[in-house]
Amino acid sequence: MSEKNGYTKKDSTEILDFNLDTSEVLYGGGARALGMNRRGNRLQLYNRAHYGYETRSELMNFTMPLVFSSKIYAVHFDNAPIGYLDLDSKKDNTLAYETISGRKTYQVIAGDSWKDLIANYTDLTGKQPLPARWTLGNFSSRFGYHSQEEVEKTIKKFQDDKIPVDAIILDLYWFGKEMKGTMGNLDWDKDKFHDPSKMISDLNEKGVKTVLITEPFVLTTSNKWQEVVDKKVLATDKNGKPFTYDFYFGNTGLIDVFKPEGKTWFWDVYKRLINQGVGGLWGDLGEPEVFPSKAITVGGKADEVHNIYGHNWAKLIADGYKKDFPNQRPFILMRAGYSGSQRYGMIPWSGDVSRSWGGLQSQMEISLQMGMQGMAYMHSDLGGFAGDYFDNELYIRWLQYGVFNPVFRPHAHEDVAAEPVYKDIVTKAKAKKQVELRYQMLPYNYTLAFDNNQKGLPLMRALLFEEPDNTALLNVSETYLWGNDFLVTPITKAGITSTSIYFPKNNNWFDFYSDEKQVGGTTKNITVEENHIPVFVRGGAFIPLIKTIQNTTSYSLTNFDLHFYYDENTPSSQGKLYNDNGQTPNAYEKGEYEILNFTNESNNKIVTLSIKSETGKSYKSSDKNISLLLHNLNTKVKKVNVNGQDTPFSTKENTIEIAIISKANTNTVIQIQL
């Protein structure tokens, strides 16, 4: 065994191998940028940050001993120690798992479809709890806010510019003035944050959550060093003394999250902050970023627990919330974990991506692959993080992609501002429109989050979900599905004026912005607009939207728009809208919810739509004022009937608008005679 760059290379490993057929495309192994088909690679299983990566990254923060096949099965090697996942790198049709130690347990998961397969995999490893609704809003974030005044000034700018925002994220300056030497303080720097309780309270009154960064490292120069030594919180050396070593931020120890004393101490820090009003927690550097092989934890030696450190850190927080804050949905932002980390509510992001077009180009693959592997909230620092590259076109294109991303969180080094409010007037106006669209889509997006919670379905889905037998789609990530009903093609190169898009064959597709029809099963060259990326809606889809709100505390379905995309090739279709208070854990299981189920049965003479209200036993529903908009009716409407009553309607181009009052706990039937 030898050690290099702080991690172990074992000279002899134990191997499990499986035969593959020649046609299989392979996915998995965690977060990587390799191309969708990962066959031919030998993937190291050792969580490690890759600073400033662009189009290729063989090893990143989040590795998993998990492989999916285009034959619609998966193999999960259920073993924590570091190793390799070899996806036929020798070209001998062999899948091999290599590990330094541990058990030789593996599970084979199968399904009749990709949706079934991922449902079965997340039945095995756990479903993601439904996050708080504000998680789907806009975050104000940078590296970093240096003072209370900066925080308050930034949120005031959002309010003055009427740009919606739901949270502000504080990087490491909340506990220290300098980047180095203070990690592990885990308490407010009172010189710069003189009254944090009032700051948090004032932000909460404005509907803005405070999210704080934390790290698992306690430096020997930290205010907490002696405390963690005395309380036996840290990983140790072979003699039982705190294991210390140098890394970028200073000389440090590492909190042992496998040890009862470590868990108790760390949770007590979080508990104090949550009681102060903090709304979310950011766990950074949880690979752990530097974790020498000689360190020992209660869970095992460093190389045995390295890849599950972030996973257990998230568990520590999730368990603490259940015990001490059972009525609050946690927000746990982390960049490193393991198979099944979704069950603890972890919200992963793709690490320190380069602020460049190359950095943007890899993001779809990373999120799609991680969604297949259960981590449906994988997202990126919108605009890119690393470097001082200044390009407003890149920034806007990244935000346009972010609208159809699990989490909308611009974040970067402060050299070039990540927040829309600090952009020039033209760029700010363009960014504002993207943030506003993100909020308009909250009903649709929150329903996606509910489906993920119940069925494990990714929010972003590769086109192979739609046509698993179409071999041309098995390596496609440039276009993807957002939920079931949106087809999205991000623009990832400068100056693009047109792009080729394949439209899946099962339906026709309609331009989200112009309603122009594209025939399913065809590939078309689409003109690219400056103000938005190409987005299309599935024929027969129901898309619920609201008017823009300034944050999710104003969210209501008392009034909303329901868009229906008529498609003569889709005579029957369904949709739904899930709603609860956006805060209560397990609201659905507690009966504190409502679902509006939508159905379409149509022919060339009559379109029949229904809205069926379903409420949980503990939920009091209310009447809904619905503006129903029917797109693409290319024939004249003779009459509209709602629950047997003739109802007025208006026509604008090929869209029919009907005002409907949907009574609580009743069914509404709308008939449109053509």
Angle subtended at Cα 591 by Cα 589 and Cα 595, rounded to the nearest 5 degrees: 100
- For the question of residue 14 being annotated catalytic, the response is no
Annotated active-site residue in 98, 287, 304, 580: 287
Best CA proximity match to 264, nearest among 228, 240, 235, 295: 228
- Alpha-carbon distance of 282 to 346, in angstroms, equals 10
Structure tokens at 577: 């809208």
- Alpha-carbon distance of 661 to 674, in angstroms, equals 22
- Alpha-carbon distance of 613 to 667, in angstroms, equals 6
- Alpha-carbon distance of 574 to 188, in angstroms, equals 51
Best CA proximity match to 130, nearest among 401, 455, 549: 455
Annotated active-site residue in 54, 215, 289, 352: 352
Structural contact between residues 381 and 353, judged by C-beta atoms closer than 8 angstroms: yes
Sign of torsion, CA 291 294 296 301?
Answer: positive
Annotated active-site residue in 284, 289, 365, 451: 284
- Alpha-carbon distance of 451 to 47, in angstroms, equals 29
CB environment 262-296: b (16+ within 10 A), e (fewer): bbebbbeebeebbeebbbbbbbbbbbbbbbbbbbb
In one-letter notation, the amino acid at residue 74 is: A
Residue 179 dihedral angles phi and psi, to the nearest 5° = -70, -35
- For the question of residue 287 being annotated catalytic, the response is yes
- For the question of residue 284 being annotated catalytic, the response is yes
**Rounded to whole angstroms, what are the CA distances from 549 to 42, 133, 159, 474?**
47, 13, 12, 39
**Rounded to whole angstroms, what are the CA distances from 136 to 182, 331, 557?**
32, 11, 16
DSSP assigned state of 185: -
- Alpha-carbon distance of 24 to 18, in angstroms, equals 13
What is residue 573's three-state secondary structure? Answer: strand
DSSP assigned state of 128: P
Structural contact between residues 30 and 66, judged by C-beta atoms closer than 8 angstroms: yes
Instruction: List active site positions.
Output: 284, 287, 352
